[in-house]
Chain A
Amino acid sequence: MMDVLIVLEDNNGKIHRMGLESIAAGQRFSNEMGLTAGALVLGGNADGLADQASAYQLGEVLKVNDALLESYSADGYSEAVKQIIDQENPTYVLFGHTYQVRDYVPRLSAKMNKPFLVDNIAIRVENGQPIFTKQMFNAKLSADVEANSSGPFLVSFQSAAFSMDAVAAGSASIRESTVQLDIAMIRTKSEPPFQEEAGGVDLTSADVIVSIGRGIGKEENIPLAVELSKALGGELAASRPVVDSGWLPSAHQIGSSGQSVSPKLYLALGISGAIQHVVGMKGSKNIVTINKDPDAPIFEISDYGVVGDILEIIPKLTEAIQALKN
């Protein structure tokens, strides 16, 4: 019996980082609401994941081993988690907002006709009821959302909304659960995951990253940023629109679908600060932003900000740094 069920994802035999963050969120939320929390692991590595999860302060860890869950499918996972929810009857089911969760939890929501409150950056309790905060309009506005129906409620958390350092250690018992799946219900077939060009760009170890966004305007302006990154002795990176436009290879991309970095200096040039980008650079020690739009959401996480024209400032900045070095 558990009121809060935290569903953990497998990341090559380890609990996905965002799963640990959702344990932190679940522990805090359960304490505040006076509820009990447990975790669920499933898939080919369920045994190992259950052992890892049992080292945290949780009422119980459920594990599901099933041949049809060994490789991920939206059909299989949504059905399996639904059956576990039916068996355990939790009021809240928590997830990290991973790409896998985005892929199957909407199906689960539809199967159960229960709301999926997605990508939350905070929860607070008012009059005994949780209020969920998410970003809207590409992080330009925040929104408070409430569930109207009765539970179970499906809830996911944005990457880094809760710190995995806050997870309380403990010792939880492990219980094996079973689900009834039929191979005919799985309509997808997955091939093994692969990486495209590694590209030889390791942004994760750079001290200085000069990162460009849509504000760079056109491909012809890219050399301006290249010069500045060289002058600073740093690496050049980009947000998704620059890569999508084909101006830089995807190996330079920062964000949820690219690399995650935490350099001493992250110089964000013409980057608005969409969530998908921010999750990959929020941990930088110093974020310096130049953007012509004073309302760009990236300013909210910046240590230093300049409202101005990057095309005017970049060449002057490069020149000043070069002059200083000579």
Chain B
Amino acid sequence: MKIAVLVKQVPGADSPLPIQSNQNWVDEGAVAFIMNESDNYALEEALQIRESMGEGEVVAVSLGPDRIQKVIREALAKGADRAIHIQMDTEGVIDPLVTASLFAQALKEENFDLIFTGLQSDDLGMGQTGIILGEMLGMATASLAMATELGDGKIKVKRELEAGWFQWVSLTLPASVSIQSGLNTPRYPSLKGIMGAKRKELKVVTPNAIDATQSLEKVYLPKSEKQTVMIEGSADQIVEKLVETFRNEIKVL
């Protein structure tokens, strides 16, 4: 079983996000980057499949400038067998058709049985790359996987539907599946894993440019939809004002 896991480096939940003065993008120099949350789960799912089958290969693949080698090393330290870095300055690249095409160029000769991606990235939030890539490489696709089972040349995926519903879907291999957060417990890299990661293969490829079908005009702080009354003071003063609000304004006490 040969599994590719697409991992993306994105700003962490607590990272500052200063907007560039031209509003083209955030000032990446000030950003604290981490591995995209759902990609952690996608990687863990791939590692567990390899371990339970006792054979196979997990390849971490990432697109972006040199800084992203940090998450590639992290994936290798957690147990990926090798990695591919598609090296490109991705600032302002938002088109999932472009992103997926770049991955397709790098992966088409590899003949993966499975491609796992996180459900969506915590920066752009397009949620499309893995599915488009599946279409481009002639694979079956499914999104929002909450569990996976392999057997008989198929992968069975428990898909999350809306409002607390689920559905099992079986896909013929090869398949590209997007993974929802929470389906497993992602491991931490061991010291041995971290040391070993340095000796693993990291192939750097430079892709051909592709024309975008959609582009970013500007980013900005959201306009508040409501006039928010801010309650300030010491903890005791805040509590007093909250109780008063619950009682006299919202009338639930």
Contacts and interface: CB of A to CB of B under 8 A. Distances in A.
A218 B17 CA distance: 26
Contact of B231 (A99, A265, A304): A304
Contacts of A83: none
Contacts of B181: 240, 244
A171 interface: no
Contact of A148 (B14, B26, B214, B230): B214
B249 to A, nearest CB: 8
B113 interface: no
A138 B13 contact: yes
Contacts of A308: 235, 238
A195 B162 contact: no
A316 B236 contact: yes
B105 interface: no
DSSP class of A's interface residues: helix, strand, loop or mixed?
Answer: mixed
Contacts of A232: 246, 252-253
Interface in A151-203: 187-196
A325 B143 CA distance: 49
B14, B219, B224, B252: which has the most chain A beta carbons within 10 Å? B252
Given A145-B217, A288-B245, A250 B164 contact: yes
B169 A189 contact: yes
Contacts of B200: none
A298 B228 CA distance: 11
Interface in B79-128: 94-97, 100, 122-128
Given A143-B218, A188-B169, A316-B239, A195 B124 contact: no
A299 B136 CA distance: 41
A109 B216 CA distance: 18
B212 interface: yes
Contacts of B232: 306-307
Interface residues of A, number: 91
Nearest to B166: A194
Contact of A188 (B127, B142, B164, B166): B142
A74 interface: yes
B182 A207 contact: no
A251 B161 CA distance: 15
B168 interface: yes
Contacts of B163: 257-260
A148 B135 CA distance: 22
Contact of B221 (A109, A141, A303, A324): A141
Contact of A102 (B94, B127, B247): B127
A207 B122 CA distance: 32
B222 A135 contact: yes
Contact of A144 (B164, B218, B245, B247): B218
Interface stretch (A39-47, A50-58, A112-120): A112-120
B141 interface: yes
A140 interface: yes
Contacts of A272: 13
A207 B166 CA distance: 28
A135 B121 CA distance: 12
Nearest to B172: A187
Interface string A122-141: 00000000010011111111
Interface in A224-253: 232-234, 240, 243-244, 250-251, 253
A83 to B, nearest CB: 16
Contacts of A111: 135
A283 interface: no
A320 interface: yes
A235 to B, nearest CB: 12
A74 B142 contact: yes
B148 interface: no
Contacts of B250: 264-265, 285-286, 288
A232 B17 CA distance: 36
Nearest to A194: B166
Contacts of A14: none
A98 B162 contact: yes
Contacts of A302: 226, 228
Interface of A: 74-75, 78, 98-99, 102-103, 106-107, 109-111, 113-119, 131, 134-149, 187-196, 207-208, 214, 232-234, 240, 243-244, 250-251, 253, 256-260, 264-265, 272, 275, 285-286, 288, 293, 297, 299-309, 312-313, 316-317, 320-321, 324-325
25 contacts: A106-B127, A107-B132, A107-B135, A109-B96, A110-B135, A111-B135, A115-B213, A136-B123, A137-B125, A138-B122, A138-B125, A144-B217, A146-B214, A148-B214, A188-B171, A190-B167, A193-B161, A232-B253, A257-B162, A285-B250, A304-B245, A306-B232, A307-B232, A309-B235, A324-B247
